[in-house]
Structure 1
Amino acid sequence: MATTKREHDGADERLMEMELPTMHNPSPPVPTPPAPPPAAPSSSLQLHPAFYVVIWIALSSSTILFNKWILSKRKTPVDGETEPEQAFPFPIFLTTWHLVFATLATQILSRTTTLLDGRHHVKMTGRTYVRAIAPIGFFFSLSLICGNKAYLYLSVAFIQMLKATTPVAVLIASWAMSLDNPSRNILANVSFIVFGVVLASWGEIDFQLGGVIYQVLGIGFEATRLVMVQRLLSAAEYKMDPLVSLYYFAPVCASMNFCIFLATEAWKITLDDIVNQVGLLKLLANACVAFGLNVSVVFLIGRTSSLVLTLCGVLKDILLVVLSIVIWGTTVTLLQFVGYSVALGGLVWYKLGPEKVMEHAAVLREMVRTRRALGLAVVGVGAFLVLGVVWYAFSGPERDVV
């Protein structure tokens, strides 16, 4: 039984290392090896870890919302009237643009800063690049394309609910590739996540099968990529931080995405779509926010615990659901609310393990007991915010679901 627990803890630890964000799929991102993080630029000012966590949450959420805003349908008032709904239905172009920007940015940073000095410790050869990096880049490209395609059909809130199954997909992929041994206990733990997401999906009002298929495929491709990278990083000579990973993966992913773009969207997109419908400055800002997310990860690694990262990841997902309700008027049903709550609870239970959950729950109870006024205030404010969001989602004027 002790062996099973150690295997469970090891699987949780490795999965946690893969749960930092990437530029298009902020949850989860490029796997992070247990190697020491690259040194941040030296400064006499030492910032609190909470600063880096807040920046990561802000950039991670902004990347998703920005992508959704560009790709989704919207109405523009002109002369007191509302024009027909418009959209920028070119997710592959957007993904390709992000990867081209990331390729150029990492090349510039490698020549002007020390952020990418970790690449000098990676024994990258042409043979390794073709046999390891290129296949991983292939699945990376597919996950990004499918993830962005889903924004054309589904709300941000529902996509976040579906993404809660990513750890389950990673676990299954690791079993399929023999990186971990199947465990009945772990399977029982993740079953709560699956059950919660099934409930949330059942309660979705604007359920579109095409969007769900794209999102499920994206999760599957992402899980495969993460496990392949985990296998690559198991060798000491290939350990790299997220920014160095992007330095190697972005060029091959950009090339693959560009080929797919030529075959699927190049004959439909026009210069007017790029310049007038979205705008060059907005595309540049979108790419900068996405790339800034990867840079923030480099500064975040090693400055906080896995518990904080797990809870902050859950907080970010909840924040995205709330913002989807507020910005796009997404309707969330009671069944979805219950299902997503079950999924998030199962996610925390799986990542931290029963022992840590009980340990931190005891610490929280003790803090509430000794600081009753503060505890009641926190609980009261939290309950008020939750009830406010639930009321806004379930009532009020009828809103369009995008």
Structure 2
Amino acid sequence: MECLPAFLNGLKSLLGISLFYAFSMSLTFFNNNIIKAYPFPLSITFCHLLMKFTLACIARSIISLYRGEKRIEIPWCSYVREVSPTGIASALDIGLSNWSFEFITVSLYTMTKSTSIIFVLLFAILLKLEKPTLSILIVVLCISGGLFLFTYQSTQFDLIGFILVLSASAVSGIRWTAAQKLTQKSKFG
């Protein structure tokens, strides 16, 4: 009987991970196809972020009404100084990623974008969220080596697209590190 809750939790985790991968792959191929049909990636990014903002406002209002709690109010200067870097990095990450689809294949995009973990780690060390260790260095070197082997003499390699998606990965590192710093502050709830 004691194994059943653990099994159900494992099943929930497996379902969540499977859904995440399915939606992630679907979104990647959708973005690739829509950029080919409508080659204005920054306009698409703007509409994407506007839609997310609208849905977030609606969700926050519904949750606030449902719980009967007053929403946390943050002064405008705090938004500008502390929240906006995460938002700007998010917009640049998505915009540069979408723009890269005009130049590179989905496989090169996926492999290059996976280097964002290197940048997350680099910025986490710079902002003192993480301590550098030998094992972390080995992991970073393995990821970097894999990227080099994957892109070396690639037949469908485009330098502009590669630079765009690598820049998106770097900005993604800033984005997730800034988000981590932001969530550690109690005044933001």
Fold match (TM-score > 0.5): yes
| TM-aligned CA deviation for residue 187 of structure 1 | 0.7
What TM-score does the superposition give when structure 1 sets the normalisation length?
Answer: 0.41
- Kindly tell me: are residues 123 and 110 of structure 1, through their superposed partners in 2, closer, same or farther at Cα, counting changes over 3 Å? closer
- Kindly tell me: are residues 115 and 172 of structure 1, through their superposed partners in 2, closer, same or farther at Cα, counting changes over 3 Å? farther
Letter in 1 for 2:30: F
Structure 2 CA distance, aligned partners of 1:222 and 1:148?
Answer: 13
Structure 2 CA distance, aligned partners of 1:150 and 1:106?
Answer: 27
Deviations 1:214-263 (A, max 9, x none): 01110111101111111111223435xxxxxxxxxxxxxxxxxxxxxxxx
Deviations 1:36-95 (A, max 9, x none): xxxxxxxxxxxx5144333322222211111111112xxxxxxxxxxxxxx421000000
Structure 1 CA distance, aligned partners of 2:65 and 2:165?
Answer: 33
| TM-aligned CA deviation for residue 122 of structure 1 | 4.7
- Kindly tell me: are residues 179 and 116 of structure 1, through their superposed partners in 2, closer, same or farther at Cα, counting changes over 3 Å? farther
Structure 2 gap ranges (5+):
1-10
- Count of matched residue positions in the alignment of Structure 1 and Structure 2: 178
Aligned to 1:83: none
| 2:21 counterpart of 1:57 | yes
| 2:90 counterpart of 1:143 | no
Contact 1:110 1:116 in 2 (8 A): no
Structure 1 CA distance, aligned partners of 2:109 and 2:90?
Answer: 18
Q: Secondary structure at the match of 1:89?
A: coil
Deviations 1:312-336 (A, max 9, x none): xxxxxxxxxxxxxxxxxxxxxxxxx
Match of 2:42 among 92, 114, 121: 92
Structure 2 CA distance, aligned partners of 1:70 and 1:124?
Answer: 37
| 2:186 counterpart of 1:229 | no
What TM-score does the superposition give when structure 2 sets the normalisation length?
Answer: 0.83
Aligned to 1:200: 150
Q: Secondary structure at the match of 2:160?
A: helix
| 2:83 counterpart of 1:133 | yes
| 2:176 counterpart of 1:212 | no
Structure 1 gap ranges (5+):
1-47, 73-86, 240-402
Structure 2 CA distance, aligned partners of 1:99 and 1:163?
Answer: 20
Letter in 2 for 1:212: F
When Rg is computed on C-alpha atoms for both structures, the one with the higher figure is: 1
Question: Identity of counterpart residues, as a percentage?
Answer: 24
Letter in 2 for 1:186: I
Contact 2:32 2:106 in 1 (8 A): yes
Root-mean-square deviation (CA), in Å?
Answer: 2.5
Letter in 2 for 1:104: T
Q: How does 1:305-344 map to 2 (within 5 A)?
A: none
| TM-aligned CA deviation for residue 175 of structure 1 | 1.8
Deviations 1:12-50 (A, max 9, x none): xxxxxxxxxxxxxxxxxxxxxxxxxxxxxxxxxxxx514
Query: Quick check: which one's helix share is greater?
Result: 2
Contact 2:64 2:70 in 1 (8 A): no
| TM-aligned CA deviation for residue 114 of structure 1 | 6.5
| TM-aligned CA deviation for residue 203 of structure 1 | 4.2
Structure 1 CA distance, aligned partners of 2:139 and 2:65?
Answer: 38
Deviations 1:172-193 (A, max 9, x none): 1112223323323311222111
- Kindly tell me: are residues 183 and 55 of structure 1, through their superposed partners in 2, closer, same or farther at Cα, counting changes over 3 Å? closer
Contact 2:102 2:161 in 1 (8 A): yes
